[in-house]
Amino acid sequence: MRNVVVVGSQWGDEGKGKIVDWLSSEADVVIRFQGGHNAGHTLVIDGVTYKLRLLPSGIVRKNKISVIGNGVVIDPWALLEEIREIKSKGVHVDEKNLIISEAANLILPFHKEMDEIREDAAGKAKIGTTRRGIGPAYEDKIGRRSIRVMDLVSENNLDHRLETVLIHHNAIRKGLGKKIFKKDQLKKDLLSIAPEILKFSKPVWKKIDEFKSQGKKILFEGAQGILLDVDHGTYPFVTSSNTVASAAATGTGCGLSTINYVLGITKAYTTRVGEGPFPTELKDNIGETLGTRGKEFGTVTSRKRRCGWFDGVLVRQTIKISGIDGIALTKLDVLDELDEIKICIGYDLNGKKIDYLPASVEDQLKVRPIYKTYKGWKSSTKGIKSFDELPKNAQAYISGLEKFIETKVASISTSPERKDTILIESPF
């Protein structure tokens, strides 16, 4: 038995939803451990499209337990709406197949408003957030003033906690010339939905210990990508949580020994949403082709994604930072029509060749990619299920990529459909 962590090895949007759903056929439990409803997964199963934001991808499968860990920040209204939406498509959700950590922190309306206020005020310095309130909610968590799921149990406790957090927020709002936020209506709104949230609430750390003793296979599902990690990403153009594999332990309450394999989901090219450095970005017809063929629009925001060549330097870096054992290469079929395909194998920084992305955002914006060029295969790979059946030039591209990033390619995805996957090594 092995427990597996799935993380994105780039800036997110690598196709984790499909891979996690595909892997969940082997798992018994699927757990989200960080992020919020700013990160979306699109699953296509038997022609039905599911767009998930907070719910783990395992929710669409029968006889699987889905868990939202303490490392996730939860907009309770968004979660209930997502549950209603997925139920309308025939998916069963109840207390037996969905568990929410009692220690998870809540995103409240004033978090979303603060996100919008700050982004609008930042001008050219904006981060490019999804304006869902994720950052302000994590700030309150670190500031020890946030509302957690367990706080919904007691009206008196909730009243006290709201008073504490609003002292902070209203001081900022007043300073920015915004209306102060009233407590009473928010408390009433939270108490009205409390029973719907609390029925899923459990001590997740304890449940994981039970799952381990029962010999269940656990799949830990990360959101976004390692390059958006608040410590290891392209700071400050990052998310507000740790997206590396080790966050699975702190975001759920399990020990590091629980994790046996780390799978990095890796797109065959590179995309990024929002602001920030992007060394291999293509602002030409090829970039447009990748975006069109890859349908590169955000699941949550519908924002157009920036597209570029595969950045081997960055992926090799994230592999080492996150301890990735193997990668799942996705969207290979998007490259089918290109005459030539490039991999970034180094950077030029002020005339000096370097083999990593520097921590300084100023230097990150200055680096210029050094490429190795491969011949395109000019034929369809869509739906191929065996490595040997891939065009020779596609095999050469994958082998070159694998050699450079110094990590094995464990699987290759050749379409959005779950069944269209070449399995080379199973994480389980």
Q: Are 147 and 105 in contact (CB under 8 A)?
A: yes
Catalytic residue among 13, 115, 140, 420: 13
Q: Are 73 and 37 in contact (CB under 8 A)?
A: no
- What is the largest distance, in Å, between two alpha-carbon atoms of the chain? 67
Q: Is 37 a catalytic residue?
A: no
| Interatomic CA distance for residues 164 and 158, integer angstroms | 10
Q: Is 168 a catalytic residue?
A: no
| CA 425 to each of CA 41, 46, 411, 420: distance values in angstroms, whole numbers, following the listed order | 23, 25, 7, 15
Q: Are 264 and 322 in contact (CB under 8 A)?
A: yes
Cα dihedral angle (292, 296, 299, 304), rounded to 10 degrees? -100
Helix (H, G, I), strand (E, B) or coil at 373: strand
Q: Are strands 340-349 and 310-311 parallel, antiparallel or unpaired?
A: parallel
Alpha helices in 356-421 (DSSP H): 361-366, 392-405
| CA 184 to each of CA 111, 175, 289: distance values in angstroms, whole numbers, following the listed order | 17, 22, 51
| Interatomic CA distance for residues 192 and 34, integer angstroms | 26
What angle in degrees, to the nearest 10, is found between the helix axes of 155-175 and 109-122? Answer: 20
Token readout for 92 is: 């069963």
Q: Is residue 295 exposed (0-12), middle (13-18) or buried (19+ Cβ within 10 Å)?
A: exposed
Sign of torsion over alpha carbons 233, 262, 92, 188? negative
Catalytic residue among 21, 37, 41, 325: 41
Q: Which residues are catalytic?
A: 13, 41
